[in-house]
Structure 1
């Protein structure tokens, strides 16, 4: 259970909402920093929105073949609006350019979720590290840690102060927050944050891949929780050979050729599966494994979850044998 606890009824509602799809209206849009646009979304009829917890994200459907994941960065107690922040990426695949250039106040967009693969776990102390747009899932975590009475600090870096969103909001936390633009202070002093982590402390990190890799390399085992916006460089544990997938709910067997993902193979067989990024980063297609050994190639599951082999992300992961039985 995450630190931000809800009543049983609310938890049930959150589980139901994780796969739900809705049409929302862009209620407000504003700039939060150079290249960062904040959208406030609400239901077109003013209906109450599903509950969510810090770390949750939305799957936002911007058009045919244009679906992106954005972290919720507002107040979980606000059931009337949701807030997301979108970084305009010059080398992106079109999602951020569409949001910045075409999406206007009053426009409707489809969303799925919220879903959460980056929950804030209970701890007496937290050390948060954010880089650039990686501040978005961290922002509501700070408020939750504060409400719980936990000790915490945040180290927040970016290219320049002007490109770093929500610095004004962070001012209320005083010296627990360190704002460290690279052009003013150089690279983040990670040693001060992740070396010698006291017992009972969890480290939460989100940002660009080099930052995540650096924190992961320094952090003591078992204390780090991170979220990636881009897939991690995958070290495959087996060759891309073909195998069979048995669909446990129907008993059907689907062949997965060497150059086809499990997701694509089962969809081609007429089985619809919730999916989004197809890169192994969002967790939408996570599927229970009934039998067989997955070859995990995602950027979501923890080492413990991979070792257990109870679930897999079927958009990228494969089989280490000749046969998998999945709960599909």
Structure 2
């Protein structure tokens, strides 16, 4: 039975709100999440985009009844990475045709999908959700989902049998993209930022780094996201929820991180740092790797790097 991520905020139906003497349509402290489902405005506005999407999925479950969630909607419920706030709620209908209404897409199923249920909700399994998204998402994002799924399955003593799942789905859509994700996914990567960075580093032509290497430095054991052993250079990917939302906790985390970085710099020939935007913009990451003394060992994969263009952060 999968562990379902609950709504990050309290959701109220119209009846719930009226029971505590709050008329949703006249209450400025409430926001309509979808028809008949409301949330506190302040709490809603404070949510990160991916958590706002998770709340929307739970609101859809409250208003749509007995449905099966798929794609990004299943990923949100299962705790897999979700990027930004997807526009649509995704459902699976194994008997009908693909159709849309409002912000809902109902997907027809080509081949078998395992369906799991928990907490009164139904969704495609973690494995099927991963394969579906690896076919459709930009490759770097599909890799991040697959990395996260592999970590989860490995912790449970299971494996992600991509070839077997792809065969029973009986569709060739996104087959090359799925194959690339399957060949490059690893449970060692610990965050979506690391996964996206690893994809871009490879497409830029740099040698594949070792992941999550530890160093015994000055009585501490410190770990780096990436390590190029022959050059004695490490890399760190920041962002995508790395630091706590609470300002005081974030300041404490930054101070500890600064001390860790100082220790590592005394141990390494260089340490490159970049953030979520640098990886998406591509060239800033390339420049920081060059500045750290790294050089490409193969030609750039311009076609793959072009898939990052649509994902670039808006200024």
Q: TM-score range by the shorter chain?
A: under 0.3
Question: What TM-score does the superposition give when structure 1 sets the normalisation length?
Answer: 0.26
Where relative contact order (Cα < 8 A, 6+ residues apart) is larger, the structure is 1
**Structure having the larger proportion of residues in helix:** 2
More strand by share: 1
